Amino acid sequence: MSNAAVLINNLGFTYPRQSTPCFSKLNIEVLEGERFGLFGPNGAGKTTLMNCMTGLLQFQEGSIQLLGHEITHHKKSINKLFGFVPQEFSFYQELSPAENLAFFGAWSGLQKQEIKNKTTELLEVLGLADVRNKKVQEFSGGMKRRVNLAIGVIHNPKILVLDEPTVGVDVHTRHAIVNYLKKLNENGTTLIYTSHQLNEAEDLCNMVALIDDGKIIAHDTLNQLLLDHKEDGLEGLFINLTGKSYRDS
């Protein structure tokens, strides 16, 4: 039986100066080794939930455990357990990929030789070896996405949280990123992923949760959900469960 990589119990979170809670008594469990996809319309609470999981936001009620460790308060020791790939390019554009990895590797707790080895490996796997010393600001959007991903995984995290890791990239880059993520998962990394690219999600995720208006409205394996709702794809399931109206207007 698998252990929980992420266990969320009765989570309650309200943004400052807002009266309506974003989440109230939200429960979810992600098991170790899963490729977990969290989907929902704009404003449903996906990014907020990820920010609570990574300690970027401090929730008011309930608890979140990462591999059995409580993160009631943002504790730096827990941060070693997960890697985070934010939606924005979260690195220094003035630096090269190698320089970025050297800095973020050190901040992730790695030593010099480990950083060196891991940098060579990651740049090779993600097709950035030839531009390892070029400034990232000269890169295309796809290359920047790969740098963003490389930084998130440099310390071999047990859990990898990805917030729309392939937004704005071409088919080749998306394919490369998804394949790399699958490979990471095969090596034991639990993936927690959110995206609006539902075709990509079908390819990547084996467990899916749909969130709408701060509530989990479906949570199961992708195949079971499609079977239950008589849909042949994630997009149909998404429309079926969340409706067709705009959510961010």
Partner 1 sequence: MFKLWSTILKDIRILTRDKLGLIFMFVMPIVLAIVITAVQNSTFEMLNTNTVPMLLCNRDTGDAGKQLEAAITKVGMFDLKQVTPNVTDKEISNRMHAKDAVIAIIIPADFTSKIKQKANETAAKALRNFGLQTDSLKTGNSTIQPITLLYHPVLQESFRHSIQGALRSALQMVQSREVLKSMYFSINEKQLPDSLENELLSNQVAINEIPVSRDGSRNIPNASQHNVPAWTVFAMFFIVISLGSSVVREKLNGSFVRLKTLPTNYLVALISKQLTYLFVTFVQAAVVFSIGIWLFPSMGLPKLNLPADITGVVIVTLICGWCAVSYAIMIGVFAKTQEQANGIGAVSIVLMAAVGGLLVPSFAMPESFQFVMKLSPLHWCLEAYYGLFLEGGKLKDVVLNILPLLGITFVIQLITLYGLKRKNLI
Question: Of the candidates 20, 22, 10, which has an alpha carbon nearest to the alpha carbon of residue 48?
Answer: 22
Closer by beta carbon to partner 1, 136 or else 234: 136
Closest approach of Cβ 52 to partner 1, in Å? Answer: 12
Contacts of 52 (CB under 8 A, 6+ apart): 11, 13, 23, 59, 64
Q: For partner 1, which stretch binds (CB under 8 A), given 53-61, 117-125, 169-177, 211-219?
A: 53-61
- Tell me the per-residue interface mask from 84 to 123 with partner 1, x by CB under 8 A, - otherwise: x-x-xxxxxxxx---x--xxxxxxxx-xx-----------
Residues between 10 and 39 that touch partner 1 (CB under 8 A): none
The count of chain residues that interact with partner 1, using the rule CB under 8 A, is: 35
Could you give the angle at which helices 97-107 and 112-125 cross, rounded to 10 degrees?
Answer: 130
The footprint of partner 1 on residues 135-194 (CB under 8 A) is 135, 151-152
Which residues are near partner 1 by CB under 8 A?
Answer: 54-56, 58, 74, 76-80, 82, 84, 86, 88-95, 99, 102-109, 111-112, 135, 151-152
